[in-house]
Amino acid sequence: MAKVAMTVNGRKVSKECEDRTLLVHFIRDNLSLTGTHIGCDTSQCGACVVHMDGKAVKSCSILAAQAAGSEILTIEGLAANGELHPVQAAFKAHHGLQCGFCTPGMVMTAIDMINRHGAELDEKTVRDNLEGNICRCTGYHNIVKAILAAAQEMGAAGRQAAE
């Protein structure tokens, strides 16, 4: 057992856990943030994607101890003042989810790729960047649509902020 401290959604947290505890279990069981999902046991599905120090990572393939001292952003940290994050809103508007199980990972992955590519994001890049996220309902088309729409909106918002 060790004390693991990190910042999660802007809040400093510190919890005792075993060294073998995966980050996803730390987030779900120790912090009770159950929006981050576990969809497989083989590190393939991407339902557990969170941001660590600003980059999308699979929280099922990292020990909580490895993440100690880092800044973690989960799906719970996106909506502000009761308003959905633009990517969440785009998934809703474009029907980018059905059962919703993969959605937290999809949304965190989408934000990561928009952060890297901005409004320049094109369909091929979106599909390539969804390589690590599996959805068994939608057939991906509406997820891709939602991400492209959000990239346009966030890119436009970014440009307005810059001007």
Partner 1 sequence: MYATNYHRASSIADAVTLQSSSDEAKYVSGGMTLIPTMKQRLAAPSDLVDLRHVGELKGISVNGSRVRIGAGTTHAEVATSAELKAACPAICHLASHIGDPHVRHMGTIGGSIANNDPAADYPSAMLALGATIVTNAREILADDFFTGLFETALEDGEIVVAVTFDAPAKAGYAKFPNPASRYAMTGVFVAKASDGSARVAVTGAGSDGVFRHAGLEQALSANWSADATAGVDVDASNLLSDIHGSADYRANLVKVMAKRAVAAA
Give the single-character DSSP code of 41.
Answer: S
Q: Does 47 bind partner 1 (CB under 8 A)?
A: no
Q: Using CB under 8 A, pick the residue from 57, 75, 111, 143 that binds partner 1.
A: 57
Euclidean distance between CA atoms 113 and 129, whole angstroms? 7
Q: Using CB under 8 A, pick the residue from 36, 88, 103, 129 that binds partner 1.
A: 129
Q: Using CB under 8 A, pick the residue from 46, 86, 96, 104 that binds partner 1.
A: 46
Euclidean distance between CA atoms 82 and 79, whole angstroms? 6
Taking contact as CB under 8 A, which single stretch among the options 26-34, 39-47, 93-101, 146-154 is the one that binds partner 1?
39-47
For partner 1, the closer CB: 16 or 18: 18
Give the single-character DSSP code of 139.
Answer: -
Q: Does 131 bind partner 1 (CB under 8 A)?
A: yes
For partner 1, the closer CB: 68 or 93: 68
User: Quick one: which of 125, 127, 106, 105 has its CA closest to 117?
Assistant: 125
Dihedral over alpha carbons 43, 46, 52, 55 (to 10 degrees):
120
Q: Does 2 bind partner 1 (CB under 8 A)?
A: yes
